[in-house]
Amino acid sequence: MRPERTTRNFRILSINGSSVTDRILASKALAHLEAYLLKKSGDADAWIADYFDVVAGAGNGGILAAFLFTRGKGGLPMFTADEALRFIIGNHQKISPSLPASSFK
């Protein structure tokens, strides 16, 4: 459910995440933002995608954008920001296979 607009501002979310650290930081920041939006709105079905008109991202940022803005059945985003974060952390070797697991310590 999109929040009601009181202005004609156009909201753009641009996600950067070129390195493993950037990817994790971006994912964590988006999970934090979504949790804040849930709390602030009082809407248990609030999604980041409801608060932005356009999303942009390249590389890892594009992966996060796809997670958060791709709509599934019923028109809802397929992943929450927290689910995207858990996927990114759990699959970092598949996303960037040349990086050692110790990058996350």
Look at residue 77 and tell me if it is in a domain.
Answer: yes
Domain that holds residue 48: 12-94
- Report if residue 1 sits inside a domain: no
Q: Is residue 7 included in any domain, yes or no?
A: no
Residue 101 lies in a domain: no
DSSP letter string over 72-86?
-GGG-BS--HHHHHH
> pLDDT tens digits for 51-94?
999 999 888 889 899 999 999 888 889 999 999 999 988 887 77
Give the position of tokens 């004609």: 8
Q: pLDDT per residue over 74-83, tens digit each? A: 888 999 999 9
Angle in degrees, 0-180, between the axes of helices 20-41 and 60-69, rounded to the nearest 10: 30
Residue type, 40: K
Say how many domains are in the chain. 1
Let me know if residue 100 belongs to a domain: no
User: Across-strand partners of 57?
Assistant: 15
Whole-model pTM: value is 0.76
CA–CA dist 9, 66 (Å, integer): 23
Quick one: which H or E segment has residue 92?
helix 92-95
Is 67 part of any domain? Answer: yes
